[in-house]
Structure 1
Amino acid sequence: MTLYRQLVVTMLLLFVLLFVTAYSVQFSSTRSYLAQQQETTVINTVTSLGLALTPYLETSDIVGAESVINAVFDGGFYRKVDLKLLAVDKEISREHEIFLPSVPQWFIDLDLFEGAKSEVVLTSGWLQLGELSVEGHPSQAYYQLWQGMSQLAFWFVMCFVLVWALLVLAMRYLLKPLHDIEHHAREIEQHHFGKAIALPSTRELREVVKAINSMSQKLELQFKEQADEAERLRHKTFIDEVSGLGNREYFLSQSQSWLSEHRQGTIMLVAVDMLEQLYLEEGFAARDSLVKAIALNLRQLCQRYNDFALSRISTNEFALLLPEFEPTVLTALGEEINRFIAGLVINPVSPHNISIIGAGVLQQQDTIGQVLTRADNALNQARMNAEGAVVIKHQPQKNDLGRLAWKKLVEHALVEDNFKLSSQAVMDFAGHVQHEELYIAINQEDAVHGAGSFLSVVEQFKLGEKLDLHIIERALRYLSDNSQVKLAVNLTAYSCGQASFWHQLDLLLAKYASAASQLLLELPESAFVSNKRALMTPLSQLRVGWGIDHFGRHFDLLTQFGDLRPHYVKLDHGYTSQVALPDYNDAFLAAVCRAAHSMGAQTIATRVETKEQVNVLKTLYVDAYQGYISPPHRL
């Protein structure tokens, strides 16, 4: 129970206790007063009636005596008036029950009043004339007590309601600083620092608010320092200082991650040979200026893809990792790159070989060395061919499909539900399963195609929304029958940017409400490159847990996740694949993990394959891991 409710309930209970005490005292005193008043009335009635009857009894006027008794009996509240005439041995008696409809019977049944009674002997000198007895009726006392106590209870209830309303308003006003502190504390817990709380007038609360504001400022500063540290280590480890792109080490780690996911794509090398001559003729400033211009244009060109890696791997060479694999498209892309690089050069020092391009298409079972050798051979061949040459090294394989064939295959799988589902456990270092990640593949007659083979086609032809909703519904059906499982489903970057997807997702979650709490959604980090602001609203309203996949792949996003609230982040494989090597520098990985922890998110290492990797990760800031050390199993 909240402090606000505790205070309100406590004060209302004290008010009720005060009311019950005051009401009890008033009830008792009123009852005693009415009983005493009735007794006094009966005594006075006996005395006055006896004086009025004595003259009639002395003359034996029985009719007169009856008239006097009738007059008194009818004019008051008496249960019984009895006169015994001793001289003639006769009795005059009047008796009746008075019914008061305005007093409930249960109140009368309480026997609060017994009814006063008084007797007196009427005499004339030494002669006893008769015995007079008067018994009062308690109905009038019940009536007066009921009316008085009912009105008192009514006003007490009215005062109680009024006090309740005023107390609620007063408590809300007085406790508003505490509510602000609670709200601010929750924001701090989610690493949303916001503005400082206004200082209240209450002295004790003022000191608490000052402490909260001071702590918030220190935590915000600490978070900024951690982000700055990650940024500094990023530049030191993975960034080329001149171009602002990734360096060779970054490109190799990203390529290794890409290959480990068995994704289709191409490594494209862009050699700008004239940079060396430009340096000799005009100096490093002119060369660096052209490098920055080329880097900017390459970055803008790569934005057309949802996922990519871009680096400057040597003085004169740039490397692109793209989800494109068709030679005709790659040739057109290479020619486009050559044209814009040529357009950047004013009065070139040499008209020949401004830039040349060689590309190697990724093949199944490729290693990073093999694909780089293929791309480098293509670049050497382009250098020997002619100015601005583009050479694509592609070895068609038996199961290679064109983009339209892949599109048709995915659409057919959506209609026929030809998807094979499997899952892989995410474990903490105590051996407990945190959740399982869902993997999909397409069953074909003679082959099984993993998601990496067709996801680029799904993104290109905007099939991500249909695919994601289809897989999520299958996952929810599975979870409905397996209440002990938590399942994470990966979303495509295209779906994340579609308002219609989030609407349909809400409908699905409402349809499978009992299983929704077991579902987790994983958004690729690339989805936040252009859609971060648009994602804020649906993510804040999302009724299921969610995480960020490939966290840390896009460096410029690391310091921009502070206003998000992911439940977990999965670290990019490029940072964790080599943790067991003797010369591995874990400083940047630690910085990325601390940045994630600053958001309140759990950190998960991916594609862990050996116990040695697990032991190293355990010593870092990693909370859990997954990989082929715990192979996927079919659902």
Structure 2
Amino acid sequence: MTLFRQIYSLLFGLFLLVIASVGYVQFTETQSFLSKQMESDLNNATHSLSLMLVPALEAGDIAGAETLVNVIFEGGYYQEVKLTWLVGGKQQIWNNPVEIQGVPQWFLDLNIFDTVKKSNTITSGWIQLAQLEITAHPGFGYHELWRIISNTIILFSILFLLAILCARLGLSWILKPLNSISVHAKGIANRQFGPDLPLPKTDELKDVVTAFNSMSAQLKKIFSSLDEEVTALRKKNLVDHASGLPNRQYMTNRLNSWLSEPNSGVLLMAKFDWLEEVHSKYGYQVRDETIKLLSDKFRENLNEYPQSVIARIAAYEFAFLVTDVEKEQVSKYLQALIRTVNQEISKAGCKPNEDFAIGVTERIGQMSVSEILAQADNALQIAARQNKVFHWFEADKHQLFSREQWREQLNNAINGKQFNFRWQPVTYSASKDVMQREIYCQLNIDDKLIHAGQFMPYVELLSLGSVLDKHLILTLEEKHIFERNYEPVAINLTHQSLSDPEFHSWLNHFLRNSPMAERICFDIPEAGVYGDPDSCIELCNVIRDNGAQFGIDHFGRQFGSMSYLQSLRPNYVKLDLSFAHYEENQHNSELCRALVNVASGLEIEVIVTGIQEHAQYDKFSALHTDAYQGFILPPESVA
């Protein structure tokens, strides 16, 4: 029960107690007063009637006596008159059936008033003429008591309602600072920090609000400092200071993560010997300034490809990773890269298309980081030896379909729900219980199973992401996969679904009408959060409001602030695969620890991905992560 209701109930009870006490006193006093009044009236009536009956009794006039008694009956509340003649022993009894109007029967049945009788001996001198006995009728008392009680109840009810209304308004005004604190506390519990609360006028509450504002500011400062620590560690360990681009270590980690996923793309390695000429002519400061300008131009002219990564991996060497694209787009990327380099070469006073070479290599099947780097370096050396601007080491494989064929095949497979599912468990570190099962899908095209690494680049290219996600979710429901286990099923959402309002509306309707909403999780790529944060917040609100869960995939891969965690409030985060090879003596150990601390400080569960064996995961025990996932428990087919 809230404090407001407790105080409100206390005041309500005290007011009822006061009213009950006053009502009881009023009732007893009124009853006593009416009883005495009826007794006094009865005494007067008895005495008056006795004097009036003397002449009739002396004369033996029975008719006169009856007339006098009837006059008494008509003038007051009397129930019975009994007249006993002492001479002759004759007895006369008069009953008055007086009805009480306006008083409920249940009130009369309470028998509040006792029967009041008064007897008197009528005499004439020393001679006793008759015995007179009058019994009072309680109707007067009941009528007056009911009238007084009714008026009192009406008055008290009006006062009670006014008092309760005033108490409610007064308590709401007095306790408003406490309510604000409660709302603010819930916001902090949800990792949302608002402005400081204004100080109330109540002295006792001023200290509470002041202390709470101080605590809120300190917590906000702690989370901000953790975020700043992550940014500083990234800048220190993963950023090349001269160019402002990611360094070789970041590119190696990214390649490791990329090659561990079902994906496609190319790696370009470029060597710019003309930068050495700039160094020899103008010194290292001008060289570093030129590298900075060149890097800025790369970011500006190649930003059409948000999935690309540009890194400076050596003094005069740069690496470019482009994922989820087809060959035609890579060609455009390569031409834009060459054009940018030539523009900067001309500004530096060197000859275009000279003193630089680019090697291009495609991802072929299962490759390691060293293999693809060696292959890209070989292509770079061939271009340098042959004095060519670039050399493309193409994969010796046949392209399955053209773009339009991919469009037709994907539309047919997706709309026909030709999915084949596998899932991989995510296991709790402490209990070894399954936390969730992540779904992977393949498409059945021309009676062949095509894995995600082959068709996902074309899904994104052809803007079929939200269509794929809709039919995938519907197929999972139709096959009752959500009902097979108590553990939630995690679904990876495409980038298009994150920013598609129609998909948001559809998902809201689906989850609202699904009895299995609490068993569905959605993995949102961190790159999508940085790309369109407003749409991600809207989508996450839809998921949360309908009882489902969501998490951030590839957590820690992107450069940027972690403050989005406070806005999105995910249930969990999945560390990027690049952190799977965590070692205490590696440079990224501090960054990995800081990322875990940021998420854990916000009460977000941390899942380590890319785990191959228990010994590998044991290295994360010092970080107190919550769960792990990888080929230590490989994906299984979903029948």
Q: What is residue 408 of structure 1 aligned with on the other side?
A: 408
Q: Distance in 2 between matches of 1:268 and 1:100?
A: 108
Q: In the alignment, what sits opposite 2:458?
A: 457
Q: Secondary structure at the match of 1:586?
A: helix
Would you say the 8 A contact 2:324–2:456 is kept in 1?
A: no
CA contact (8 A) 1:590 1:621 kept: no
Aligned to 2:582: 579
1:188 to 2:185 alignment: no
AA aligned opposite 2:529: F
Alignment partner of 1:9: what SS?
helix
Contact 2:420 2:443 in 1 (8 A): yes
For residues 538 and 319 of structure 1, the distance between their equivalents in structure 2, rounded to whole angstroms, comes to 34
Aligned: 1:503 with 2:505: yes
1:360 CA drift (Å): 0.8
Sort the Cα spacing of 1:461 and 1:325 in 2 relative to 1 into closer, same or farther, 3 A: closer
The letter of the residue matching 2:632 is I
1:357 is matched by which residue type in structure 2?
A: I
User: Structure 2-normalised TM-score?
Assistant: 0.94
Tell me the alpha carbon deviations over residues 208-259 of structure 1, each in whole angstroms, 9 at most, x when there is no partner: 2121111222222222222222122112211111111111111111111111
* Structure 1 position 161 matched with structure 2 position 164: no
Of the structure 1 ranges 179-188 and 294-303, higher mean CA displacement relative to structure 2 is found in 294-303
The alpha-carbon distance between structure 1 residues 599 and 290, as it changes in their structure 2 partners (threshold 3 A), is farther
What is the Cα deviation at residue 288 of structure 1? 2.1
Give 1:37 deviation, angstroms: 1.7
Partner of 2:490: 488
Tell which deviates more after alignment, 470-479 or 192-201. Answer: 470-479
Asked if 1:291 corresponds to 2:283, the answer is: no
- 1:121 alignment partner in structure 2: 121
Distance 1:114 1:377, change over 3 A: same
| Partner of residue 626, structure 1 | 629
Compared with structure 1, are the counterparts of its residues 113 and 89 closer, same or farther at alpha carbon in structure 2 (3 Å cutoff)? same
Change (3 A) 1:303 1:561: farther
Q: Which residue of 1 aligns with 2:441?
A: 440
2:591 corresponds to which of 588, 599, 611: 588
Equivalent residue number for residue 473 of structure 1? 474
| Matched position secondary structure for 2:442 | strand
Q: For residue 195 of structure 2, give the secondary structure of its aligned residue in structure 1.
A: coil
CA distance in 1, matches of 2:164, 2:485: 45
Residue 591 of structure 1, CA deviation: 1.0
Deviates more, 1:10-19 or 1:551-560: 551-560
**One-letter code of the match for 1:367?**
S
Once the 2 structures are TM-superposed, how far is the Cα of residue 480 of structure 1 from its aligned partner?
Answer: 5.8
Q: CA deviation at 1:402?
A: 4.1
Do residues 523 (structure 1) and 524 (structure 2) align?
yes
Percent same amino acid at aligned positions? 31
Paired residue type of 1:587: E
Is 2:621 the counterpart of 1:606?
no
| SS of 2:593 mapped into structure 1 | helix
Question: How far is the alpha carbon of 1:161 from its aligned partner?
Answer: 1.5
Answer whether contact 2:278 2:286 (CA < 8 A) is retained. Answer: yes
Aligned partner letter, 1:239: V
- Asked if the contact 2:322–2:330 (Cα under 8 Å) also holds between the matched residues in 1, the reply is no
- Alignment partners' CA distance in 2, 1:62 and 1:281: 154
1:248 counterpart = 2:245 = no
Q: Which amino acid aligns with 2:26?
A: Q
Contact 2:342 2:353 in 1 (8 A): no
Does the 8 A contact of 1:256 with 1:574 survive in 2? yes
Moved more, 483-492 or 579-588: 579-588
Alignment CA distance shift 1:456-1:599 (3 Å): farther
Name the structure 1 match of 2:173: 173
What pairs up with 1:80-119 in 2 under 5 angstroms? Answer: 80-119=80-119
Deviation, 1:555, is: 1.3
Aligned counterpart, 1:145: 145
Which sections of structure 2, spanning at least 5 residues, go unmatched?
A: none
- Answer yes or no: is 1:76 the counterpart of 2:72: no
Partner of 2:36: 36
For the Cα contact (< 8 Å) 2:278–2:348, is it kept in 1?
A: no
Distance, in Å, in 2 between the alignment partners of 1:237 and 1:198 is: 43
Give the partner amino acid of 1:575: F
**1:95-128 CA-partner distances (Å, limit 9, x unpaired):** 1332234211111111112331111121112322
Tell me the equivalent position of 2:360: 359
Contact 1:330-1:392 within 8 A present in 2 as well: no
Deviation at 1:519, TM superposition (A): 1.8
> Equivalent of 2:571, from 544, 567, 576?
567
**Could you say what secondary structure the match of 1:563 adopts?**
helix
1:417-455 alpha-carbon deviations (Å, 9 max, x no partner)? 111222222222111322222222213455422323222
Offset, 1:82? 1.8
Residue equivalent to 1:228 = 228
3-state SS in 2 of match to 1:547:
strand
Distance 1:412 1:43 in 2: 110
What is the Cα-based RMSD across aligned positions, in Å?
Answer: 2.2
1:533 counterpart = 2:505: no
The equivalent residue for 1:65 is 65
- Indicate conservation of the 8 Å contact 2:325/2:458, yes or no: no
Q: 1:338 & 1:589 partners in 2: Cα distance?
A: 36
Cα separation, partners in 2 of 1:282 and 1:584, compared to 1, 3 Å: closer
Per mean C-alpha deviation after superposition, the further-off stretch among 343-352 and 19-28 is 343-352
Give the 3-state SS of the residue equivalent to 1:81 in structure 2: strand
**TM-score normalised by the chain length of structure 1:** 0.94
